[in-house]
Amino acid sequence: MRNVRNFRNIIVTTGDLDGIGLEIAVKSLRKIRVPANQRILLFCGPNHRDFSAHLLAGADPDIYNDLGEALNSRPRRSYPLTLISNRTPPPLWVEEACRHCLRNRKDVLVTGPLSKPLIVKTGLKDLGHTDILSRLSGKRDLFMSFWGPELNVVLLTGHLPLAQVEQNLTARRIRQATSLAAQFVRDWMPHLQKKPGAILGVNPHAGDLGLIGNKEKLLKNVYRQLARAAWKVEGPLPGDSAFLLENRLKYSVFFASYHDQGLIPFKLLHGFNEGVHVTLGLPFLRASVDHGPAKEIFGLNKANCGSMINALKLAIESGGGGAATGSK
């Protein structure tokens, strides 16, 4: 029997108990291959064990009550899934999994959809996964990034009111985001290095030479530096035309000034079926779905698991275990 330390752990938190996170996670695991040196540790609520067993269609996973117990156990069966049937609120699953990955950086965190009201109800002040991860890791500059077959987007600012975007869109933050994205592309998606990136202006028409806002003029030096970098980033592009097909063919990654500027086109092109959300700036890999908990279809077995499949594939393949495509 293999030593527990030889396993690379992929910890999956499934989000709101009345959301689709558990359904899409289990459906995904039926469609992908998990290498022999990796295992999936999947959080679920204590009342969802029967639902999980039903979706697993005859599989017989190990079940434990907490992450520590599961991590210290040796899988008794060839099936590469361990369920963690846990009574604590789902936002605390994310905290526990994050702390583990900070101590064990070869392991991976994959998160299902978690609603902001549930985070607040649990007693946390965070407004999403990124805030939780930032607080626990001590990393001030974390960036939400979204990767799909049609479009790749990095958000230069996060969950902020529009009135606060300009003051948070600093030259230091832009340099950090582009540097982290370049590192991610180099490590995981080297084919994207063949094309430059593009940065979007924050104002209509990218400020129109200062006639519609001054922010782009204030950032002109950092724009020039990006255009001379090893992996060139051009801009600023006007947000209203940046995502036309000719630009999507020309640029590999788009750096959006604020949340909706980047995510409206990304979700328009990919829906909730293909994209993967990756947090840039952590010392470990965190991948996630690109959608919310969809509580209106909870328990109906109707959820599309495409985004979770791609998040798990990225997690698995980052460990060098080969392609995760195909059934187990």
> What would the pLDDT profile of 43-74 be if each residue is shown by its tens digit?
998 876 566 555 565 566 788 999 999 999 87
Section 193-200 average pLDDT? 96
**How far is the C-alpha of 258 from the C-alpha of 275, rounded, in Å?**
18
Question: In this structure, what are the phi and psi dihedrals at residue 53, rounded to the nearest 5 degrees?
Answer: -60, -40
> What would the pLDDT profile of 301-312 be if each residue is shown by its tens digit?
899 999 999 999
What is the structure's pLDDT at 7?
Answer: 79
CATH number for region 1-139+282-328: 3.40.50
What is the structure's pLDDT at 192?
Answer: 94
**Taking the alpha carbons of 227, 216, 168, 289 in that order, is the dihedral positive or negative?**
negative
pLDDT band at 273 (very low <50, low <70, confident <90, very high): confident
Q: Cα 67 to chain center, whole Å? A: 21
**How far is the C-alpha of 287 from the C-alpha of 13, rounded, in Å?**
11
Report which secondary-structure segment, H or E, holds 143.
Answer: strand 143-147
Centre a 10 Å sphere on the Cβ of residue 34 and count the other Cβ atoms it contains: 19
> How far apart, in Å, are the Cα atoms of 211 and each of 165, 171, 214, 240?
19, 21, 8, 17
pTM of the model: 0.90
> What would the pLDDT profile of 100-127 be if each residue is shown by its tens digit?
999 999 999 999 999 999 999 999 999 8
Give me the residue label for tokens 């959300």: 277
Q: Determine if the peptide bond prior to 236 is cis (ω within 30°).
A: yes
For residue 43, give the 3-state DSSP assignment.
strand
Domain boundaries for CATH 3.40.50 within the chain: 1-139+282-328
CB 231 within 8 A of CB 139: no
Domain boundaries for CATH 3.40.718.10 within the chain: 148-271
Of 23-37, 115-129, 218-232, 276-290, minimum mean pLDDT range:
23-37
Q: Determine if the peptide bond prior to 265 is cis (ω within 30°).
A: no
Q: Which CATH number fits domain 148-271: 3.20.20.70, 1.10.3720.10, 1.10.1040.10, 3.40.718.10?
A: 3.40.718.10
pLDDT band at 321 (very low <50, low <70, confident <90, very high): very low
